[in-house]
Chains A and B, each alone.
Chain A
Amino acid sequence: MAYALQQLINGISLGMIYGLIAVGYTMVYGIIGMINFAHGDVFMIGAFLSLIAVLLLSMGGVMGGPAGIILVLLLSVVITGVYGWAIERIAYRPLRGSFRLAPLISAIGLSIVLQNFVQVSQGARVKPMETLVPGGIEVMREEGFVVQFAYTQMMIIGVTLAVLAVFTILVTRTPLGRAMRACEQDRKMASLLGIDTDKTISLTFVIGAALASVAGTMYLLRYGVIDFYIGFLAGVKAFTAAVLGGIGSLPGAVLGGLLIGLIETFWSAYFSVQYKDVAAFSILVLTLIFLPTGLLGRQEVEKV
């Protein structure tokens, strides 16, 4: 019981991170109808930028306390946002309206570039960081097993919910959100109605990158070890989350993220750690075969 409760807590906090990344996939898929293959690497960049920000701030003596973490978040969000913008500008915009495979290949190319850029500039070795926020609350104790709700986990859940709340307001209540939804429905019509679709798509990438960067910061604070390759697996799992929740659906992405986090955690805890990635991949395959529209997605009817 206690063991399961601990897994539940771990699974939810991991799932929140996947959910944040998945929102970026779902948004981009919704608006330009393609998988942003470099999105997982944006998450990785976000984690690295957070690490650098933490080191900079602790050298300046301002790290420590919530203010420091908020500064780290801000720094990493802004610069990762620039990365998101640059990715769209370089690999997607020139190919808009072109062949479907071309942007996919250029995005895969850019994903390789980002990974190797970080490998070259920051080194291939893993970066272990001392934990900034140690400890947690003891939730319950059973036969010597202590269930701990770590402060970092609370922070992940709190920050994720706050970010998602702001983001939801942005999408549903602001002109930008309206423009995004209009582009999603019919980009040509939206541009005829005077919406700057290029700008809207750019902003979608920036927002997606910002969310991935928050996920990167959270990942760094919680797990403390990053390398240039973390983006690939996290990306595939987050994409699985987006598909599971129903691609194009924002609440679906978060729900999918939570499910993937929980399944992965429980799978590792009760079956086999080695095969935990197989669990995520199998869910992806099974979802696409048996529930291609996902949990909250819309049904599509084949037109003849």
Chain B
Amino acid sequence: MRLQLALKDALVGAVVAALLFVPLVALRTDVGSTGALTLRYRWTDAAILIGLVFIGRLALVLWMGRDGLRPSTSAGPWTLRLQRLGKLAAPAFLAVALVLPAIPGIDRYWLDLGILVLTYVMLGWGLNIVVGLAGLLDLGYVAFYAVGAYSYALLAQYFGLSFWVCLPLAGVLAAFWGILLGFPVLRLRGDYLAIVTLAFGEIIRVVLLNWVSLTGGPNGISGIPRPSFFGLPFSMAGGEGTFAGFFGLEPSSTHRVIFLYYLILALALLTNWVTIRLRRQPLGRAWEALREDEIACRALGINVTVTKLTAFALGAMFGGFAGAFFATRQAFISPESFTFIESAIILAIVVLGGLGSQIGVAIAALALIGGTEIFRDLQEWRMLVFGGAMVVIMVLRPRGLVGTRTPSIALGKRRAIDGKLVGEGHG
């Protein structure tokens, strides 16, 4: 009986897959040598895909039943274990992160990957303030990342300011833009706010792309100064007044990478520290209250606009810091790095990690960015896998990996609050 049902389901799946894949996979359009389009047949590829769908569906229905894959919001074995480990997991992660450069066998590739992951951890934590705590759906977060990056690049290029002067400036400028953009739109709700922030992100990108005289347009800005170790530059030449020279080390290109690694680790931890502290204070509680019920907040005398703006500005500021770091690390930036897809990735990290959960966001960034790095050589496959992972995780765990909320204060023991009760904001 079950086999029959499974076969029927699998057959339906295969027919749908055939309709989806035969035209787009089996018939490949190519620009021929004459410039005209030709069709190339790839029946085996399509057949493999259809076969996979058939077998996959069959196995799924046989193994887990027809409704085997259902969204689950309750704390699964996964989350429970994570919570129990929570107190240990966070320090363990931190310890590994701290000693990573010293672990034998960690070469430049791993450090670069660590820097990349930490950048997204920081961006995720920054956006978590806006989306996770205050419940404001921001799809244009990359705009502030861009503001930070271009602030540093331009200030360095035109005024010769050093990284350490520009870092706070980049944060302040990004926060300023956050307030400027946030003010008119924060009374919008839900999806509307999302789409307006998306539009703002795109406007900033298009302006960066076309204001050639200032930003170099699509060519971007290159030769952005690298950071110094409190005034000591990293130089392969070594010698007096350089990092290696001062500490009497053999000049090495890894010094700078290690320094950049610790820099982004420090910036990310700063973001985390500020968030955790604020969450236990009136401002952070007001953000969460806003996410739960805006009207009740107003009745309690909370200035809703100002509270939303602080969340928006603070989130933007950390985005700006990350942007300045990105610029100094790459030494080259162009509008290409600040597309909508970046915003989507950061938002995905926050939502997949679990809104409001710091450890969840860090794990999600590690899994998504580090995990898809495996597919690095197959550039386009990487994003395909990434998008697919987003869909699958959301469908199975709509509340993210860590779906519970920890109270900010308690008379007795702090008990995690089920995600079902926690609001997610309306704007």
Interface residue ranges, A against B (CB under 8 Å): 29, 34-35, 45, 48-49, 51-53, 55-56, 59, 79, 82-83, 85-86, 90-91, 94-95, 98-106, 108-125, 127-130, 232, 236, 239-240, 243, 274-275, 277-278, 281-282, 284-285, 288-289, 292, 304
Minimum CB–CB distance for B35 against chain A, Å: 7
Given contacts A79-B19, A102-B394, A116-B387, contact A127 B344 (CB under 8 A): no
A residues near B28, Cβ cutoff 8 Å: 121-123
Instruction: Label chain B's interface by main secondary structure.
Output: helix
B residues near A284, Cβ cutoff 8 Å: 195-196, 199
Interface pair A105/B24, CB less than 8 Å apart: no
B374 within 8 A of A: no
Interface pair A289/B24, CB less than 8 Å apart: no
Interface pair B39/A52, CB less than 8 Å apart: yes
B330 within 8 A of A: no
Query: B38, B352, B390 — which one has the most chain A CB atoms within 10 A of its CB?
Result: B390
A residues near B390, Cβ cutoff 8 Å: 105-106, 108-109, 112
Chain A residue with minimal CB distance to B188? A288
B residues near A79, Cβ cutoff 8 Å: 19-20, 23
Given contacts A55-B38, A79-B23, A122-B29, contact A288 B196 (CB under 8 A): yes
Given contacts A99-B398, A99-B424, A123-B30, contact A277 B19 (CB under 8 A): no
Q: Which listed residue, B69, B340, B394, touches A109 by the CB 8 Å rule?
A: B394
Interface pair A98/B191, CB less than 8 Å apart: no
Chain B residue with minimal CB distance to A304? B295
Chain A residue with minimal CB distance to B403? A99
- Assembly CA distance A129 to B196 (angstroms): 35
Minimum CB–CB distance for A238 against chain B, Å: 12
- Assembly CA distance A56 to B30 (angstroms): 13
A residues near B25, Cβ cutoff 8 Å: 121
Interface pair A285/B39, CB less than 8 Å apart: no
Interface residue ranges, B against A (CB under 8 Å): 16, 19-20, 23-25, 27-31, 35-39, 69-71, 73, 131, 137, 184-185, 188, 190-192, 194-196, 198-200, 202-203, 206-207, 209-210, 295, 340-341, 344, 347-348, 351-352, 355, 380-381, 383-384, 386-391, 394-395, 398-399, 424
A residues near B389, Cβ cutoff 8 Å: 109
A-B complex: 4 closest residue pairs judged by Cβ atoms: A109-B390, A112-B387, A102-B398, A113-B387
Instruction: Label chain A's interface by main secondary structure.
Output: helix
Chain A residue with minimal CB distance to B30? A123
Interface pair B185/A101, CB less than 8 Å apart: no
Query: B20, B351, B395 — which one has the most chain A CB atoms within 10 A of its CB?
Result: B395
Interface pair B37/A128, CB less than 8 Å apart: yes
A residues near B23, Cβ cutoff 8 Å: 49, 52-53, 79
26 A-B pairs with C-beta separation under 8 A: A51-B37, A52-B24, A55-B29, A56-B27, A79-B20, A82-B16, A82-B19, A91-B395, A94-B70, A101-B355, A106-B391, A109-B348, A109-B389, A110-B387, A112-B341, A112-B387, A116-B387, A120-B380, A122-B28, A128-B37, A274-B210, A278-B206, A281-B206, A285-B203, A289-B196, A304-B295
- Assembly CA distance A243 to B388 (angstroms): 29
Interface pair A95/B20, CB less than 8 Å apart: no
- Assembly CA distance A111 to B391 (angstroms): 10
- Assembly CA distance A113 to B395 (angstroms): 15
Minimum CB–CB distance for A96 against chain B, Å: 9
Interface pair B39/A56, CB less than 8 Å apart: yes
Chain B residue with minimal CB distance to A283? B199
- Assembly CA distance A25 to B389 (angstroms): 25
Interface pair A95/B398, CB less than 8 Å apart: yes
Minimum CB–CB distance for B423 against chain A, Å: 9
Minimum CB–CB distance for A103 against chain B, Å: 8
A residues near B209, Cβ cutoff 8 Å: 274
Interface pair A102/B71, CB less than 8 Å apart: yes
B residues near A278, Cβ cutoff 8 Å: 203, 206-207
B residues near A90, Cβ cutoff 8 Å: 391, 395
- Assembly CA distance A239 to B383 (angstroms): 24
- Assembly CA distance A265 to B199 (angstroms): 19
Minimum CB–CB distance for A298 against chain B, Å: 15
B residues near A100, Cβ cutoff 8 Å: 190, 424
Given contacts A102-B398, A278-B203, contact A116 B380 (CB under 8 A): yes
Minimum CB–CB distance for A109 against chain B, Å: 3
B residues near A121, Cβ cutoff 8 Å: 24-25, 28
- Assembly CA distance A122 to B46 (angstroms): 13
Given contacts A55-B38, A105-B351, A108-B347, contact A292 B188 (CB under 8 A): yes
Interface pair A116/B196, CB less than 8 Å apart: no
A residues near B198, Cβ cutoff 8 Å: 236
Given contacts A116-B380, A119-B380, contact A109 B347 (CB under 8 A): no
